[in-house]
Structure 1
Amino acid sequence: MAEEAEAAPQVRMNVVAQYIRDLSFENALAQKGLASGDVQPDIQVQVALDASKRAQDHQFEVVQKYKITAKNKVNGDTLFLMEVDYGGVFHVEGVPEDQMHPFLLIECPRMLFPFVRRIVSDMTRDGGFPPLNLDPVDFLGLYRQELARRAQAGNA
């Protein structure tokens, strides 16, 4: 049993850097000069992920892209639109090649999510709305959906 533990490669992951790649916030409510009296927000969050190998050995870049739209349930008017691309550079060793793709698109985004959540909360508050605290994202579920979508596209 001790021999098996020694044979298994040790996974090492370090966050080398993390950063906002792109950020925009549009307060449509204020721009239209609308009163905030009868507002019932309907908030939609879209998440996309991307990962790529960097020139340095064992380094990968992972980018999370969030598009958050808030509309008024009463009349369908857009209240605000926010887009944020948040990236991280990871040094990863010991992950088998066939498991690298899911590792990069599941584990790495989990590490970055609390920082994105804080940025979204701060931006919505600074943009004139109550702070929006994103619900935790199921990155495993997103990964499985993407695999299913690609399989379906391959069959079409």
Structure 2
Amino acid sequence: MSDTQTPPANGQIPEGAAPQGPLLLNLQYTKDLSFEVPGAPDIFTQLREQPRIDLALDVQARPLQQGGNVFEVALQIRADAQATLAEGKTQTAFIAELVYCGIFTVNVPQEHLEPLLLVECPRLLFPFARNILADVTRDGGFPPVLLSPIDFVALWQSRRGQSAENGTPVANA
């Protein structure tokens, strides 16, 4: 017998049940994964040094039901690797794209919802996404891309500043 409980499909706590904590990770999964080596197989013989990797990271959150407390949080990572070849030219070594998601039940007041969804939830997902990206780049014939820890608070605050300038909400929450 297992001590874990499956949350109800609608995300609501049944009457008489013990209340859940403020955050419950129901499920995590790879929503999208892409790895391309446009110059294969030539890139492997011409590569003289480790490629320079440009990273882009984004976090999105959306409710799974109208007015509910269950959300999908998506951590999106893109790694573009540029390699300098023997003759001095630059070529794309690989492109890796990952969308790693979690389904979260959130029981907090509305004013705490955004930081929970855009800071704490991706913080929980990040180690798993980091491992997937490292494995796929290593399995693709390159040194593994090992992401440094991400400051999700700074990322969220930066997005808040940008959305305030544009007048758009930070999350779809």
What TM-score do you get using the length of structure 1 for normalisation?
A: 0.84
Q: Determine the C-alpha separation between the residues in 1 that align with 2:109 and 2:158.
A: 22
Unaligned runs of 5+ in 1: 1-9
Match of 1:60 in 2: 71
Q: Deviations over 1:22-46 (max 9, x none)?
A: 1100013425x13244234111110
Question: Displacement, 1:58?
Answer: 2.1
Matching of residues 12-51 of structure 1 within 5 Å: 12-31=22-41, 33-34=42-43, 35-51=45-61
Unaligned runs of 5+ in 2: 1-19, 168-173
Instruction: State the 4+ residue runs in structure 1 displaced beyond 3 angstroms.
Output: none
Which protein is richer in helix relative to its size? 1
Q: Determine the C-alpha separation between the residues in 2 that align with 1:11 and 1:106.
A: 17
What TM-score do you get using the length of structure 2 for normalisation?
A: 0.76
Query: 3-state DSSP class of the match of 1:28?
Result: coil
Q: Determine the C-alpha separation between the residues in 2 that align with 1:152 and 1:14.
A: 33
Query: 3-state DSSP class of the match of 1:141?
Result: helix
Which protein is richer in strand relative to its size? 1
Find 1:77's aligned residue among 85, 88, 91: 91
Give, as a single letter, the amino acid of the residue that structure 2 aligns with 1:91.
T
Q: Determine the C-alpha separation between the residues in 2 that align with 1:101 and 1:37.
A: 44
Q: What percent identity do the matched residue pairs reach? A: 39
Q: Determine the C-alpha separation between the residues in 1 that align with 2:54 and 2:47.
A: 21
Match of 1:100 in 2: 113
Find 2:132's aligned residue among 112, 119, 141: 119
Question: Displacement, 1:59?
Answer: 1.0
Number of matched pairs: 144
